Structure formats: structure tokens, C-alpha cells
Amino acid sequence: MMTPEEIVFMSEELIGVYESLEDDLIRNVAKRFSVLDEITPDTVAAWQAEKLQQLGALNKENLKTIKRYSRKTSREISRILHDAGYQAIELDERIYKEAYSEGLLAAMPVPAAASPVLQQIIRGAIDNTRSYFNLINTTALQSAQNSFLGIVNKAYLETSLGVTDYNTAVRNAVRELADMGITGVDYISAAGRHTRNQVDVAVRRAVVTSTAQTAGKMQIQRAKEWGCNLVEVSSHMGARPSHAVWQGRIYSIEGSTAEYPNLITVTGYGTVTGLCGVNCHHSFYPFFEGISEQRYKPYDLKENARVYEQSQQQRALERSVRAEKRRILAADSAGDTAGKHAAQLRLKEKEARLKQFIRDTGRTQRTARQQVMDFGHSQASQAVWTARKAASFQSLSGMTTSNGIVVSGASNHFGQRAIQRGISLADVRDALTNPLGIGNIRIADNIRSQEFTGGIARVQINPDTGNLITVWKTSAKLRNKLKGGR
């Protein structure tokens, strides 16, 4: 049986298609908004009406996008399930033939390729998976429309009620769109639990689960055709705790004995949460007493739980990296330079946090899980430049202002605002050492601050800690006033 990693490798093209699809749908929505628009409480109603008229055009564009990406879907699903299913039983066939030559099996069945039941299993899996992908496409189209309407309504309400200005409302809504993504699966279970999966998650899960279940069904059927009743279940450190209790053991396909309990009863094979279920990384193989040597073993449950927890922490860090990349793409589409720079800085922080976690734990870095398909070399280079530019303001540490404050460093917010407002390192240094004016110390939220106004920049610093807080451009009016003009 193939591992989930082998299945994902085989399915890279299909998964990549849908990752690009989601990114394009997000951009199709985001580009219809601009933080540069000058919308006021008096004009926001007209803006809302105009946006609602664009809904039909958006749906047409999104439908065209979905059709373009999903052309290969049907053919790819057939290829993946067919190849994975028959590859999964290749190793089994060698084991069966060896057992047959040893006299442990009474008869040799028809070749696997000629088995009508195996062919039926493949056809059924292909039909079911195609239907599921059609559902993903339909849900994604509706989700993109709902996201568009959500941004329109949020911006209208917050602007008209004076909760915030239009630009901030749109900026926040577009960021939420990038965080939430486009829904691929949305349903309520019998227990009333609401489940929502983004397109890329839904596709990856559908491919891995459908392939694993198809391979499992084919293996069980082939075992019956050969007359084999025992299978060995694989094991790995860091397995899901509910799976760790039954991994690495030998089971009976039918019936049960003290030495070999029933496969379905113990492992939950055939269920969503059991062996070969959703996100299960286990496989199984034929086992014959007398010629088979048990290759797998159970692991210590406490150590397994520790490694499993590390794997979940790594997945969370990987998701946070992907989230920032999507925020960058969405902000770029909406013309939100400030939001883009903020996401670029957070991206480098989270990438550094993930790398440190990998070093501390000795785990393997999975770069594929950090990728967003349309986030390429250009976007990565821009993020690196922004991070380096922001970090350059740390070089001010140790310098002394004109009134004796020793600079201790600069916050990320400071670097972000300097980049956004086109303020250089030299501009900041000039304001601190050669100011046109120094403001009185102010207190806000129990934090003291003092403002230094230079020819280009107005710099705010904490006089107690020396930390640079934020920076603005010095207006021409203020500059002239401080120089003695009008």
C-alpha cells in the first residue's frame, strides 16, 4: 500500500491546480476593492450600489477561472486512482506468489488486472471522487461570491456608521478574506458540528483519503481472492494517539483470535476516523505465518504522543507561513501597500520561528507545506527586501538623541511605517540628532513617548526604554513653522 507522501507526490499536479485556483479566486475578489479610493460616509451608499452591480461580472470571471483549472480534473482523478490502486497491490502480489510457491495458498486467482471486482472498485472510486470535486467547484464559486458581498457589506456598515474609515474597513476585510480563504467543503455533521475546509485543504484531503480507501478496498478484495486472512498494519513514531494504540500489529480480516484480533473491530478500518480514513498515514500488507517476518512494531505511547504534539506544532507554524503569503497576495491585489509590508514582515518572522522549531526538535522541514502556488520568487524577494529594510533601523541602537536618550532599538511597527511612508535611515537619524523641535513627553496607555521633528521625519521614541515607536513624514507646513517661516 502506498504512503500518504507517495500519494501526494503522485497527485502534485492536481493539488497544485486547485491551490492556484483558490489563489486566483481570492485575487479576483480582492482586486475589485482599492484602499486608495476616497469613500466617505456620504458617498459609501453609492459605492455599495456600484459594487453590487459588479457581482454578475465577478461570478462570470470566477466561473471561467474554475472551468480553466478544472479541465484536467477528471482525467487526473482517473489516473491517480487507477495507478495508486494497482501499485498498492504490486507488493502484495509478490508476497502472495511466494506464499503460493510455499504451499500456503491453495489456488492462484485470475491476474489482478483481470479481476472484475477490482475494476468495479476503481470505477466506483473514480465516480465518487469526481462528484466530490464537482461539489468543491460549486462550493468555491458560492464562497467567492459570499466573500465579495461580505467585504461590501462590512465596508458599508463600518464606514456609514463611523466605526472606522473606508480604507481601514476594506484593508481589514481583504485580510480576513486571505485568512479565511475560499471554502471547498462546508457541511454540518450529524452531531451538529460545522466543518469548513479551504479549497486546497479539501482537495488534498480528498485525494489522499480517496486513494487510500481505494487501495485498501483493493487490497482486502485481493486478499480474499487469494485466500489470505492476515494483514500486518504499519507503524510510525508520532502517529495520531487514537491510531497509536493499534499500529504495528497483525490482524484477521475476517473473524478474530486471541493472537490476531479483527481488523475492522480494532482499527476501525472502513470508517472516517479509522485505518485508511481521513488523514491516516498507515498502510497494511499480507502476512503469512511461517514465511512472513513482522516488520513493524508498536511504539511507546508517551513518546509517540510527544512526537505527535511536535508534528501538530509544526503544522500550525506551516499554516501561519502560508497565511502570510496569502495576505501578501490579497493586499497587493487591493493596492494595500501598508498591509502588504506588514504581512511581509510577519512572514519573515514566522519563517524564522519555523526554522528555529525545526532546529530545536530535529524534525524534517516540509517546504511543500509552506508553499502558496502563486507566491513565487519575485514575491519572496520583495518580502526579504522589506524585512532587511525594516531591520536596518535596528542599527540606530546605541546612538544618543540630542537630549540624551540612548536608542535601544526599533519596533517592527516602526520599520513598517518607515517603509510605507518613504522615510530613510538617514531621515530618522537626522530627526533624533538634529531636530527642528522636540515635543513634550506624553502618556498614553501607561506608555511615555516623546516626538522629535526633523526636516523629513517626525520620530516618536519611548524616553524610558529608548525604543523607537513610530514615524511620520514632516509636513511642509510644520517644517516651515519650526524654521521660523509661515
CB distance 125 to 213 below 8 Å? yes
Residue 94: inside a domain, yes or no? yes
The label of the residue with cell 464606514 reads 159
Share of residues in the chain with pLDDT > 70 (%): 96
* Residues 371 and 405 reside in one and the same domain: no
Reported for 43-47, long-range contacts at CB under 8 A and 24+ positions apart, including other chains, are 44/155, 44/156, 44/159, 44/160, 44/166, 45/156, 45/160, 47/155, 47/156, 47/166
278-331 tens-digit pLDDT: 888 899 999 999 889 999 999 999 999 999 999 999 999 998 998 899 888 888
Q: In the chain, how many H helices and how many E strands?
A: 16, 11
194 DSSP β-pair partners: 188
Q: Which DSSP category does 400 fall into?
A: B
Task: Provide the pLDDT confidence category of residue 14 given band limits of 50, 70 and 90.
Answer: confident
CB distance 44 to 155 below 8 Å? yes
Q: Which DSSP category does 394 fall into?
A: G
* Residues 369 and 407 reside in one and the same domain: no
41-57 tens-digit pLDDT: 999 999 999 999 999 99
Spell out where 250-318 has E strands. 250-252, 284-286
* Residues 417 and 316 reside in one and the same domain: no
163-212 tens-digit pLDDT: 988 988 988 888 888 888 888 877 655 566 767 788 888 888 888 889 88
Alpha-carbon distance of 303 to 301, in angstroms, equals 6
Domain span at 214: 4-227
Mean pLDDT of 238-266: 95
* Residues 99 and 185 reside in one and the same domain: yes
* Residues 415 and 358 reside in one and the same domain: no
pLDDT at 454: 94
Residue 314: inside a domain, yes or no? yes
CB-based contacts of 157: which residues, under 8 Å, 6+ apart? 163
Of the candidates 328, 344, 375, which is a domain's last residue? 375
C-alpha cell recorded at residue 128? 465518487
Of the candidates 188, 208, 227, which is a domain's last residue? 227
Residue 455: inside a domain, yes or no? yes
Structurally, the chain folds into a number of domains equal to 3
pLDDT at 444: 85
* Residues 306 and 165 reside in one and the same domain: no
Question: Of the given ranges (8-17, 208-217, 242-251, 452-461), which has the lowest mean pLDDT?
Answer: 8-17
Task: Provide the pLDDT confidence category of residue 243 given band limits of 50, 70 and 90.
Answer: very high
* pLDDT value at 474 more than 90: yes
* Residues 143 and 43 reside in one and the same domain: yes
CATH code of the domain containing 436: 3.30.2310
Question: Of the given ranges (207-211, 403-407, 457-461), which has the lowest mean pLDDT?
Answer: 207-211
Alpha-carbon distance of 14 to 69, in angstroms, equals 9
Full DSSP string of 426-444: HHHHHHHHS-SEEPPPEEE
Mean pLDDT of 380-402: 88
Of the candidates 227, 256, 284, which is a domain's last residue? 227
Cβ neighbour number for residue 430 with a 10 Å cutoff = 18
C-alpha cell recorded at residue 392? 536596518
* Residues 344 and 476 reside in one and the same domain: no
pLDDT at 485: 61
Residue 311: inside a domain, yes or no? yes
pLDDT at 419: 87
